[in-house]
Structure 1
């Protein structure tokens, strides 16, 4: 490798700028621009190609719309009503409040598509509920909220799956369907772990909800419960595209919160728009930087060189998936998930195709790996978010999260080595892959 080549210099610049604290999206833009300048590329033509490609790519519009939908749910009273409904279902069991935490994450997974939105929204409320009266330690409540939020982008809709579809051309609709069984599997193992710990540590039992109150609680939560049904129904019946469904999700959350629940003020509405814009801008800059850098990587023929290298290793499809899992799990400890998805994963896709690995199956494996990175130290973005919310030391949160992380790795191994756990439902609904 020529360390004085334009590509090497761009990598050095990106690394230095990121180390100095510049957002990785901006660092990639600077490094990639330097590469284009040193190679004598026509900046105007390159910019025109990118703009033309992005103007016709409506998939990316789904990202800010799902973020906006999550914000409307968080500032409205949808979260509180759904938590009350979850309490009806599992609150009466030992450790019931911990089980509610898992169940509400499954329900919210069908709405926001973002693990961070789930943790920062309903997670804050669950933290307060679980620690009230000393029923659970702050670290355990924070750890549970972090690991349950991971399920959000696995069960549809999913912002990471939208980004994976962007770099792989896999079907978003079938990716969404493929995430259902793995997400429920992961949640089921989490609930099993809570049940085991509840008996060992004698977790409290919540007061059962009187039977006369159950119909009222269900009716009040029904409009919120219908949101994932409407959203996913429109996608899978072909009424809307995933991007249109994201807009529908935001509109539905706003109408329900304003008209039925009367829980969003003008100030809260403005704050939702402002918060969503900030989050969308951050993700947008990362996408922009990654797309330009991927253009540079393609010019340098890096994906083909890696494909040839991996082919020379004579890997079987199973061996390749094991290698990808190891690489992504290690990278997830130190890198942000979106950056991995947009920069690293495209390099693996040609090899996956050459080995005959289904891209929908591969996409779910990739997304689960990246979600695991949100709760693995030292980076573990969800760990830091819950540290800020709970005030518990991050080491205590990591300690309480380890049993759940173990079961999440077990889930990853199951979906990696048994592709039918991912592909069964899509094929049932017409997928030909």
Structure 2
């Protein structure tokens, strides 16, 4: 009865358009009232406990750093440098799109930030060069999903907190899969360029590369500070986020002098709003997860899955299907906070490393960002590029092929995610 009340109320609230955070809190409270044996005050206690986590302090600082990068012209410098590196290839601006996303991934850690910041620049540049609007939007949407895989990554931080896994190891685990995503997308671009006879956008020039590298050099140090500092034990993920924010602030306000006081206020307000939404979702998911635990739903679900089949491959495919479907309908952070306590015990029972499973989960949910009806990245790109949502959706579908291929590789070849952490974090 309690289980039915929990899930039916959650589903109804989401269908009615209630924000996910409030839907999680309300459904949990309904389940507690139906149970009748738990005090309602536990809702507040569990919500506070859910956000009382040191690694979560990194979220507002990474959000702030990403917003600074977008507002102060740093993204344009990154785009220009990527253009000088790979713009000479056939279908060059498509490759530039992917390269810029890889570089920006080391700064923002969020697909929506990539789409909203770099996206407008990339799509405009491609359309000005005569590329089809659908192709421009499609590759921009797909490449934005690289951001949350290559460190730093907000979804990975949240998974690490929920799974009690090492965020440093999770960051290291995302590097190779993120680069594989980039290579897969560039292979698709090369195929499109040959099929549609796209031209080379510019010749390769050493002098131009050096000039753009000099212009972007200080910006490119941001991921070096973040990733290098974490991987080599100089500071924690939270301390890295603070360092990134401070560096981005100095860079934009003192060095480049492109940040105005008015922009700083707007960025700060945006950071507060984004962080509040994320933490409220986490708080709601904390009480929801606690209800799942007290009702032994996670144990029952694990037993059901293992009773359904004990074949590891079949269970991995089934979990991937669950993640993909949920990703189509639910925001990434909410999906991670709800599904981690349900699916992680199954993964562990199959002998899957929690770090490996974290990358599988996040990559699955990133693909969900490119599919309706939620498709947050598609909505953002539609808004900033003025391209109809339906066109964005249709244009993105072909680029799901290399992303799904990489997901299969990552799922069934654990060494792709675990090799680098095993080298960097030897016990």
Range into which the TM-score falls when normalised by the shorter chain: over 0.9
Q: Separation in 1 of the partners of 2:124 and 2:366?
A: 24
Post-superposition Cα deviations, 1:107-159, rounded to whole Å, max 9, x if no partner, equal 011111100000001111111111115x1122221111100000100011111
Match of 2:393 among 395, 398, 413: 398
- Does 2:20 correspond to 1:24? yes
d(CA) in 2 for partners of 1:137 and 1:46?
Answer: 51
For residues 338 and 69 of structure 2, the distance between their equivalents in structure 1, rounded to whole angstroms, comes to: 31
- Larger CA deviation: 293-302 vs 348-357: 348-357
State the distance in 1 between where 2:195 and 2:43 align. Answer: 61
Which of these residues, 79, 102, 120, is aligned with residue 124 of structure 1?
A: 120
**Residue 41 of structure 1: aligned partner:** 38
Residue 190 of structure 1 is matched in structure 2 by: 185
Deviations 1:19-46 (A, max 9, x none): 2211011111122123334424234455
Conservation of the 8 A alpha-carbon contact between 2:149 and 2:175: yes
Q: What is the CA-CA distance between 1:336 and the residue it aligns to?
A: 2.0
Number of equivalences: 426
1:98 aligns with 2:99: no
Corresponding position of 1:107: 103
| Distance in 1 of aligned mates of 2:359 and 2:207 | 42
Deviations 1:177-212 (A, max 9, x none): 001111100110101111111121122322336544
- Residue pairs, 1:252-267, within 5 angstroms: 252-267=247-262
User: Does the aligned pair in 2 maintain the 1:110–1:228 contact within 8 Å?
Assistant: yes
When structure 1 is superposed on structure 2, of 208-217 and 101-110 the one drifting more is 208-217
Q: How does 1:408-427 map to 2 (within 5 A)?
A: 408-427=403-422
User: How large is the RMSD of aligned CA atoms in angstroms?
Assistant: 1.7
Using the alignment, how far apart are the partners of 1:93 and 1:50 within structure 2? 51
1:382 to 356, 377, 381: 377
Shift of 1:339: 1.9
Q: Does the 8 Å contact 1:114/1:152 carry over to 2?
A: yes
1:255-275 CA-partner distances (Å, limit 9, x unpaired): 111111111000111111111
Aligned residue for 2:310, secondary structure, equals coil
Is 1:307 the counterpart of 2:323? The answer is: no
Q: Distance in 2 between matches of 1:314 and 1:40?
A: 35
Displacement of 1:84 = 1.1
In the alignment, which residue of structure 1 is the partner of 2:279?
Answer: 284
**DSSP-derived class of the 2:107 partner:** coil
C-alpha separation between the residues in 2 aligned to 1:101 and 1:59?
31
Asked if 1:373 corresponds to 2:329, the answer is no
How far has the Cα of 1:431 moved from its partner? 4.8
SS in 2 for 1:262: coil
Unmatched tracts of structure 2, length 5 or more = none
Q: Cα 1:10–1:320, aligned 2, differ >3 Å: closer, same or farther?
A: closer
User: Does the 8 Å CA contact 1:105/1:152 hold for their aligned counterparts?
Assistant: yes
TM-fit CA distance, 1:18: 1.9
| 1:13 maps onto 2:9 in alignment | yes
Counterparts in 2 of 1:148-187, with a 5 A limit? 148-187=143-182
- Which stretch shows the higher mean deviation, 212-221 or 276-285? 212-221
Using the TM superposition, give the Cα deviation of residue 351 of structure 1 relative to its aligned residue in structure 2, in angstroms: 1.7
- Contact kept, 8 Å, 2:169 with 2:421, in 1: the verdict is yes
Structure 1 unmatched runs, 5+: none
CA contact (8 A) 2:252 2:259 kept: yes
Distance across 2 between alignment mates of 1:162 and 1:241: 12
- The SS at the match of 1:205 is coil
Could you tell me how far 1:380 is from its partner in structure 2? Answer: 1.6
- Residue 142 of structure 2 contacts residue 400 of structure 2 at CA under 8 Å; is this kept in 1? yes
What is the aligned counterpart of 1:219 among 214, 218, 231? Answer: 214
* Deviates most, 361-370 or 232-241: 232-241
**Matched residues in 2 for 1:354 and 1:210: separation?**
54
Q: How does 1:325-364 map to 2 (within 5 A)?
A: 325-364=320-359
Shift of 1:276: 1.4
Structure 2 residue 303 is matched with structure 1 residue 270: no
1:69 aligns with 2:65: yes
